[in-house]
Amino acid sequence: MTRITLERLQVWIYLVAIVTGLTLGTVMGDAAEVFEAALWPLLGLLLFATFTQVPLIHLREAFRDRHFMGVALAGNFVLIPLVVWGLIWFLPDDPAIRLGVLLVLLVPCTDWFITFSHLAGGDTGRAIAITPINLLLQIALLPVYLWLFMGQSFVEILAAGPIVTAFVTLILIPLVAAWGLEWWSMRHPTGAVVIDRLAWAPVPLLAIVVFVIAVSQVESVLSAIPVLGPVTGIFVAYLAAALLLGLALSRLFDLPDRSACVLIFALGTRNSFVVLPLALALSSEWTVVAVVIVFQSLVELFGVVAYLKVLPLVVPWALARR
């Protein structure tokens, strides 16, 4: 099996992991604590493996194509937050549901969007170049967005669990470690081999993580089922809005078709498991936040499969030069 095949099959792998986890968690309720203890090390390893695939030491190269970079950054960090702000008004008036949607939709993807951009015929070089900028900006801007959208509630959320600790131990430390490994790989061939091997890790590790969440949080997952209907509509609407926005920006700024595909995937895909540790660090009354985030990743994967079928037809038609 090739890595591309593995990534194509990932949505089904995650579905099997979740169903298996829910079944095991229901049958073996006393196993929850054991699995929950393994969740944090697994998350740290998952994020480290993921961050090693982001070219963190090549930030300068990201700005070689300033035209595309400017359009992509404006789309992801100015226009997409406005889209999300409009969508949350259609959600139930539940702070936990809104927080889950905000956390996951405000952070652009830095991993599988590259694979899907490539599969759609997009410019993989531009996709790779934009990932480190997307990662660093989302870490810096997410607290600002949450404060703007939630106001005083955001301050209360910060006090609802060890979020700062989770950010440092599960996001910041793996990020710095990944940067160190990439720096080492530039000087030692062994480092490059390690990074290449780690490229296989995110899909199975994420499958294990969602399995562990399903086992350890089975009651929370089952109790959250009634809210999945409304959030499904929001996530599908988001995918449609991101597609239309990507087409509009590509036409307005005269992007080539291959760059337009990258832009649409950059706008449509989100960084669900990077914000997952923050959700899991919240206190028990906020457990639905993590469920919403995991569920969004499944909806998104089905969505990007639809993108793969639609974009080769829609992009040339929408961007036809007159």
Q: Could you report the per-residue pLDDT of 148-191, keeping only the tens digit for each?
A: 998 877 777 766 567 778 888 888 999 999 999 999 988 888 88
Q: State pLDDT tens for residues 25-54.
A: 888 766 667 777 788 899 999 999 999 988
| CB 282, CB 161: distance < 8 Å | yes
Q: Which string of b and e fits 17-34 if b means at least 16 CB within 10 Å?
A: bbeebbebbeeeeeebee
The verdict on residue 36 lying in a domain is no
The verdict on residue 305 lying in a domain is yes
Q: What CATH number is given to the structural domain containing 290?
A: 1.20.1530.20
| CB 218, CB 283: distance < 8 Å | no
The verdict on residue 62 lying in a domain is yes
Q: State pLDDT tens for residues 61-94.
A: 666 778 899 999 999 999 999 999 999 999 988 8
The verdict on residue 47 lying in a domain is no
**Mean pLDDT score, 256-281:** 91
What distance in Å separates the CA atoms of residue 128 and residue 312, rounded to the nearest whole number?
20
The verdict on residue 7 lying in a domain is yes
The verdict on residue 213 lying in a domain is no
The verdict on residue 227 lying in a domain is yes
The verdict on residue 14 lying in a domain is yes
| CB 239, CB 300: distance < 8 Å | yes
Q: How many domains does the chain have?
A: 1
Question: What 3-state DSSP class applies to 146?
Answer: helix
CA nearest neighbour of 51 among 139, 117, 116? 139
| CB 123, CB 21: distance < 8 Å | no
Domain holding 18, by residue range, is 3-29+58-162+218-316
What distance in Å separates the CA atoms of residue 275 and residue 5, rounded to the nearest whole number?
26
Residue 122's alpha-carbon distances to 7, 108, 166, 320, 321, in angstroms, are 17, 17, 35, 16, 18
What distance in Å separates the CA atoms of residue 202 and residue 49, rounded to the nearest whole number?
6
Higher pLDDT, 184 or 58: 184
Confidence class for position 322, pLDDT limits 50, 70, 90:
very low
The pLDDT assigned to 226 comes to 85
**Mean pLDDT score, 246-265:** 93
Confidence class for position 107, pLDDT limits 50, 70, 90:
very high
What is the model's pTM? 0.91
